[in-house]
Structure 1
Amino acid sequence: MKRYEGLFILNTAGKEEGIKELIDKISSELSAAGAKVETVQKMDKRQFSRVADKRVSSGFYVNFIFEIETSGMANLRSRFALNEDVFRVSFTEAGAQKDFSAAPAAA
């Protein structure tokens, strides 16, 4: 299994409440695809500097770190491409988690 980072921009046009429900829905879809979600980082709602679609001028950013088999990534990409609640999604490989507690302090 590989670690991936998924940056989701949620389409919140007309539905300011319900961000938590959208995040839970994405998390459950990741789990249904066989992913093990490690971290969910809720960012903030931001205005887009370049508006691609006039109906959507801002979005709520959420970062997921999860583990999944490499073969399951194509399924995830197609699944979220069809999801109306997700405006954009970007998946990147996340490196191994670093343990800074064992590192000696620099003198």
Structure 2
Amino acid sequence: MRSYEAMFILRPSLDEEAVKANVEKFKGIIENNGGEIENVDLWGKRRLAYPISKVNEGYYVLVNFKGNSELPKELTRNFKISDDVIRDMVVKIEN
């Protein structure tokens, strides 16, 4: 299993429960596809470096996990189809 880091930014219009529901949804995707979550770090609402679709803020979430090589592709696919995710990035961590 390889180590990965996923960061995604959720829309600022979401309430606290919707943010937690989205985090749980993506954690479930990782776990249901044979992954193992190491750490979830909610950074909270922060200002974006530049506007994205006229949005200046977002909820930042960082997830460290282990999984097979297909898991990041599936996670990215789910980020792309979610209306609540503004930006996402999944990177492999070299050990």
Distance 1:87 1:78 in 2: 13
Once residues 52 and 73 of structure 1 are traced to their aligned partners in structure 2, the CA distance between those partners, rounded to angstroms, is: 23
3-state SS of paired residue (2:51): coil
Displacement over 6 Å in runs of 4+? none
Question: Is contact 2:30-2:71 (8 Å) kept?
Answer: no
Cα distance in 2 between the residues matched to 1:72 and 1:43: 23
Q: For residues 33 and 85 of structure 1, what CA distance do their matches in structure 2 show? A: 22
Unaligned runs of 5+ in 2: none
Task: Name the Cα RMSD after superposition.
Answer: 1.5
**How many positions carry a matched residue from both structures?**
94
SS at match of 1:37: strand
> Could you say what secondary structure the match of 1:24 adopts?
helix
Give the match for residue 34 of structure 1.
34
Answer with 1 or 2: which has the greater Rg.
1
Native 8 Å contact 1:7 1:89 kept in 2: yes
Match of 1:60 in 2: 59
The separation in 1 between residues aligned to 2:29 and 2:57, in whole angstroms, is 23
What TM-score, normalized by structure 1, do the two folds share? 0.77
Counterpart CA distance in 2 for 1:25 and 1:76 is 11
Tell me the distance in 2 between the aligned counterparts of 1:49 and 1:72: 28
Whose helix proportion is higher, 1 or 2?
Answer: 2
Higher strand share: 2
Distance change (3 Å), C-alpha of 1:11 and 1:34:
farther
Partner of 1:12, secondary structure, is: coil
User: Is 1:20 matched with 2:20?
Assistant: yes
**How far did 1:2 drift?**
0.5
Q: Which runs of 5+ in 1 are unaligned?
A: 97-107
Task: Give the structure-2-normalised TM-score.
Answer: 0.85
Percent identity over paired residues: 27
